[in-house]
Amino acid sequence: MPGDPGTQLLLKIQQTTGIAPSEETVKNVRALFGGDDQNLAAQYLTYLGQIFQGNLGVSTSQYPTPVSELVFAALPWTVLLVGISTVLAFAIGVTIGISLGWKAGGRADSFFTPAAAILGSIPYFWVAVLAVWFFAIILGWFPIAGGYDPSIVPGFSLLYVLGILKFGFLPAATIIFSTFGGWVIGQRNMMVTTLGEDYILLAKAKGLSPRRIMFRYAARNAILPSFTGLALSIAGIVAGALLTEVVFGYPGMGSLLFRAVTERDYPVMQAVFLLTTFAVLIANFIADSTYALLDPRTREDG
């Protein structure tokens, strides 16, 4: 796509005022977004220096609002929605997966495992559209869009908190419904694999109770890969559930990124991608560290 942030801002200024920007305005805008008087290496070093100072640039679509202000206004909404939904989907899926894997081949396993596979293959944005149509439009149980009631003054009041929960319930339920099936399949398969290990057979031969074998021996080891997946899923929280937030008009990082793409707001896009990258790196580090704590076999001796 042709163009750059400076060109986009100059076009917006011209559309707003109806007057072509002067040469001085063009020069100032170019300088604001880095200019072209430096080579790429120098521009990159300048960009890194600004990042370490907490300067993520200025939004072109909402000029002169700083990008950091837009990002940190949207981030708490996404953390609240996607974070809680991801943890709940993980807890539900892993619990069901442990139960199905313990009794693999039973009636529950024959029904819920294919059902979980089907649910995991359904596009979550399609589920979101159906949820809006049925629960918000047809039944009117939930708001159609938004993150809070605009008639209530934002603050730590009971009405405001209840409004946030009401507006966020349907998007959260959509995310949980669309993602817990994957956790079920993964945990169930790991349980089946773990139950064939020698230490499980030894525990049974020692006469330990089935409950203790299930949780202390089988589930404790089978859940390790799921923790790694959870850490990476939490890293994806920073980017937000883009299509779900767009469908519900939720004021999170996904909606912010969508608006930035449609309005070609490059500084905002850069900031979202940068934060997502940092989140993935940090999540990988936490996952590796947690794995070492949970599994003594991964630690170095001496």
pLDDT of 172-194, one tens digit each? 888 888 888 888 888 888 888 88
Q: Rounded mean pLDDT of the chain?
A: 80
Kindly state the tokens that stand for 90: 């993980």
What per-residue confidence (pLDDT) applies to 1?
61
Q: How far apart are CA 169 and CA 40, in angstroms?
A: 46
pLDDT at residue 302 in the model: 44
pLDDT digits (tens, 9 = 90+) for 212-248: 888 877 887 888 788 777 877 776 666 556 777 788 8
Q: What number is the average pLDDT over the span 73-97?
A: 85
Instruction: Write down all domains in the chain, each with its CATH number in brackets.
Output: 5-52 (no CATH), 69-298 (1.10.3720.10)
Contact by Cβ (8 Å): 113, 187: no
Q: Is the pLDDT of residue 50 over 70?
A: yes
Six-digit token pair at 125? 């944005």
In whole angstroms, what separates CA 92 from the centre of its chain?
A: 18
Buried b (16+ CB within 10 A) or exposed e, 147-159: bbbeeeeeeeeee
Q: How far are the Cα atoms of 149, 186, 211, 245 from residue 253, in angstroms, in the given order?
A: 19, 28, 42, 8
Q: What is the pLDDT of residue 102?
A: 80
Which of residues 299 and 89 earns the better pLDDT score? 89
Q: What is the 3-state secondary structure (H, E, C) of 26-94?
A: HHHHHHHCCCCCCCHHHHHHHHHHHHHCCCCCECCCCCCCEHHHHHHHHHHHHHHHHHHHHHHHHHHHH
Q: What is the pTM assigned to this prediction?
A: 0.75
